[in-house]
């Protein structure tokens, strides 16, 4: 039998070049009678490819129980540097015109040759020796830096610790401190006494007003050269203050007493009997002030205010005294 490229179609072999059926070259040893007895009735006329495929084949149902499920062919991937496993196509270069079916196309199966990089043993040993030498060189410098740091910390802690022996101050320092404390205390006492002296008249008036039962007050304005002379006197419903000039014997007395009079009643009952028609009325901040000679009278908040004496007070000074008592 010659080795010719053939194509098997429906169990019969055909020449891949000529497309003709291939006849076996074996020697038939059977007898003529056996051939006649067992040989099937064949058509003695020559058969061609188009006659063999003229009839349609009856479809047959496959038993999926014993066969594998068909899978689509995977696309072949050719990797650079990998020799693919190629199954050669058995189709002839110039097929016969009557041949219409051929074997499947070749399937390329790539073989991966990706290998992870591996360090050579000699190279790894050389790297380890280099790292050990570098560590030995850096170790003395690290030890020296640590020792210097520890020494600096120890010195700083020693400098910050207080001395066990108490520091004794000199005697003159202690004496100077005591003298300063005494001086400051004396200054505070003097300052307090001065403010008390200044506020003493007001305090005296408040005490007298409480005893007299009226809302008496000390004037915030006092004419220049005049000061309170003597204690503040009081009686039932009346408080009196005596002011005297510093350079002479002239002065005036300020009286505050309970009263239910109005301004007209003050004029009729107090001013007219003493001054007649020689008086001068002034209106200042809602007050009606009557002045006559060196005296004056007005009423405010149920209290009658009167000024009497020989001090030559002007009308301006009297009005300022009256408004400072509001």
Q: How far apart (Å, rounded) are the C-alpha atoms in residues 72 and 325?
A: 120
What's the pTM value of the predicted model, to 2 decimals? 0.44
3-state secondary structure 204-223: HHHHHHHHHCCCCCCCCCCC
Structure tokens at 40: 């099937």
Q: What CATH number does residue 219 fall under?
A: 3.40.1000
Number of domains observed in the structure of the chain = 2
234 in a structural domain: yes
Q: How far apart (Å, rounded) are the C-alpha atoms in residues 225 and 299?
A: 27
Residue 75: the pLDDT is 47
Backbone angles phi, psi at 187, to 5 degrees: -65, -40
How many CA atoms, within 13 angstroms, populate the side-chain half-sphere of residue 145?
5
Residue ending a domain, among 70, 92, 111, is 111
E-strand ranges in the chain read 6-9, 12-15, 226-228, 233-235, 238-245, 251-258, 280-284, 287-292, 295-300, 303-309
Tens digit of pLDDT at every position of the chain (326 positions): 456 788 888 888 888 778 788 875 544 445 455 444 444 444 445 455 555 555 666 666 656 666 666 665 554 444 454 454 545 444 555 556 666 665 666 666 666 566 667 788 888 888 888 888 887 766 555 556 777 778 788 877 777 755 555 556 665 667 777 888 888 888 888 887 767 666 788 888 989 999 999 999 999 999 999 999 988 999 999 999 999 999 889 999 999 999 999 999 999 999 999 999 999 999 999 999 999 988 999 999 999 999 999 999 999 999 999 999 98
Where in the sequence is the domain holding 213, given as residue range(s)? 198-324
40 in a structural domain: no
CA–centroid distance for 103 within its chain: 77
CA–centroid distance for 8 within its chain: 85
The answer to whether 307 and 321 are in contact (CB under 8 A) is yes
Residue 37: the pLDDT is 47
Structure tokens at 218: 């000390």
72 in a structural domain: no
Total length of the chain: 326
The answer to whether 110 and 84 are in contact (CB under 8 A) is yes
Taking every pair of Cα atoms in the chain, the longest distance, rounded to a whole number of angstroms, is: 194
88 in a structural domain: yes
Q: How far apart (Å, rounded) are the C-alpha atoms in residues 255 and 242?
A: 9
Residue 141: the pLDDT is 57
289 in a structural domain: yes
Structure tokens at 108: 């390329």
- Does 219 share its domain with 107? no
Residue 105: the pLDDT is 60
Q: How far apart (Å, rounded) are the C-alpha atoms in residues 216 and 300?
A: 11
- Does 214 share its domain with 316? yes
The answer to whether 14 and 7 are in contact (CB under 8 A) is yes
Residue ending a domain, among 111, 128, 150, is 111
253 in a structural domain: yes
Cβ-proximal residues to 306 (8 Å cutoff; 6+ apart), any chain: 254, 255, 257, 270, 295, 296, 297
Q: How far apart (Å, rounded) are the C-alpha atoms in residues 244 and 247?
A: 9
Residue ending a domain, among 64, 95, 111, is 111
319 in a structural domain: yes
Task: Bin 214: left if φ > 0, else alpha if -120 < ψ < 50, else beta.
Answer: beta
Residue 232: the pLDDT is 92
Residue 300: the pLDDT is 94
- Does 100 share its domain with 202? no
């Amino acid at each position: 039998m010659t080795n010719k490229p053939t194509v098997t179609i429906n169990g019969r072999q055909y020449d891949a070049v000529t497309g003709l059926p291939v006849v076996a070259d074996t020697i038939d040893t059977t007898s003529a009678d056996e051939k006649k007895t067992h040989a099937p009735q064949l058509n003695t006329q020559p058969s061609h490819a188009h006659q063999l495929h003229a009839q349609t084949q009856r479809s047959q149902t496959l038993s999926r129980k014993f066969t594998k499920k068909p899978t689509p062919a995977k696309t072949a991937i050719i990797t650079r540097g990998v020799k693919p496993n190629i199954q050669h196509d058995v189709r002839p270069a110039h097929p016969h015109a009557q041949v219409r079916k051929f074997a499947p196309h070749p399937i390329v199966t790539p073989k991966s040759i990706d290998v992870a990089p591996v360090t050579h043993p000699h190279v790894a040993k050389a790297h380890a020796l280099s790292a050990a030498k570098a560590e030995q060189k850096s170790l003395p410098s690290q030890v020296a830096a640590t020792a210097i740091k520890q020494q600096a910390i120890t010195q700083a802690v020693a400098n910050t610790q207080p001395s066990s022996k108490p520091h004794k101050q000199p005697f003159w320092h202690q004496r100077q401190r005591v003298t300063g404390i005494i001086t400051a205390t004396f200054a505070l006492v003097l300052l307090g006494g001065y403010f008390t002296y200044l506020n003493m008249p007001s305090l005296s008036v408040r005490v007298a007003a409480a005893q007299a039962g009226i809302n008496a007050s000390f004037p915030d304005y006092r004419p220049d050269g005049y000061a309170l002379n003597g204690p503040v006197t009081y009686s039932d419903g009346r408080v009196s203050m005596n002011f005297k000039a510093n350079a002479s014997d002239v002065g005036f007395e300020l009286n505050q007493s309970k009263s239910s009079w109005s301004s007209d009643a003050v004029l009729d009952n107090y001013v007219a009997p003493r001054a007649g028609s020689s008086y001068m009325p002034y209106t200042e901040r809602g007050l009606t002030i009557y002045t006559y000679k060196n005296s004056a009278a007005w009423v405010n908040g149920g209290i009658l205010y009167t000024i009497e004496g020989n001090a030559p007070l002007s009308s301006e000074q009297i009005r300022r005294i009256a408004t400072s008592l509001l």
